[in-house]
Amino acid sequence: MRTGDNGDYTMNSGSCLSASTMAVPTITGSSAAMSACNSSNASACPDISMDTQVCFSKKQEKVKKRVIWGIEVAEKLQWKGWELGKEITKNLVLKNLSLKIQKIKYRPPKTKFFFTVIPQPIFLSPGITLSLPIIFRPLEEVPLISDRLCLPAPTLQKEYTDQLWFEKAEGMFCVELRATLPCHNLICPPSLQLPMCAMGDMAEAWFCLDNVG
């Protein structure tokens, strides 16, 4: 977390926040009653040596792959952070994990936003990898449904979606194509349990605030 020139706070994805409470006497003077002082201080994650659960979250874009009839391929291709009118190309990688030559046919995407090279039969020898370029061209603006923080996080925007179908002798399978608009999307626990503490003492608990937008 860092402080900007205007006094605002900037926090990285996966930051940890602390919430503290102090036990103080109520107006009636009862020593058994306590009230929680609203004190939420944003700070960096504590040192690992402390006896505190530390949350670390690295935002990495990993492509999930699957193997279908000896062909290793991604489950989906996703475009993020695109700009209107600009083409963005992603490569769909197909790898032959079998011990025989694989013949594959494919159909181009149906919508006007995704397209690829002219379909032609693919012959993959064992162990050979093929990169098929898929181009996404956003031609029109897709408005956000809302612009707010949410918990849990629903889908905040419409998406461009399509499918790329492949055909083999064994059957057919598809790879999902999806492009989303940037959005504000934070996830944090719905509640936080603070430990009990003696009168006048302070107790702390940590929770994760994850930027998944």
pLDDT tens column, 148-205: 444 344 444 467 899 999 999 999 999 999 988 766 778 888 888 888 888 888 888 8
- Greater pLDDT, 144 or 95: 95
Q: Does residue 4 have a pLDDT over 70?
A: no
Specify whether the CB–CB gap between 116 and 108 falls below 8 A: yes
Specify whether the CB–CB gap between 45 and 13 falls below 8 A: no
For residues 188 and 163, what is the distance between their CA atoms, to the nearest angstrom? 33
- Greater pLDDT, 32 or 111: 111
For residues 9 and 109, what is the distance between their CA atoms, to the nearest angstrom? 44
**Angle at Cα 189 formed by Cα 185 and Cα 190, nearest 5°?**
100
Q: Tell me the pTM.
A: 0.51
| CA 92 and chain centroid, separation | 20
- CATH superfamily for 65-180 is Immunoglobulins (2.60.40.10)
- 32's CB contacts (< 8 A; 6+ apart) are none
Beta bridge partners of 92: 132
What average pLDDT does the chain have?
A: 72
Considering only CA atoms, give the Rg of the chain: 26
Task: Quote the pLDDT of residue 189.
Answer: 87
Task: Quote the pLDDT of residue 213.
Answer: 61
Q: What is the percentage of the chain residues whose pLDDT exceeds 70?
A: 61
Task: Quote the pLDDT of residue 148.
Answer: 41
β-strand pairing of 76-80 with 172-180: parallel
Q: Does residue 113 have a pLDDT over 70?
A: yes
| Number of Cα atoms under 13 Å in the Cβ half of residue 24 | 9
The CATH 2.60.40.10 domain(s) of the chain lie at 65-180
Query: pLDDT band at residue 38, thresholds of 50, 70 and 90?
Result: very low
For residues 29 and 19, what is the distance between their CA atoms, to the nearest angstrom? 25
For residues 46 and 55, what is the distance between their CA atoms, to the nearest angstrom? 9
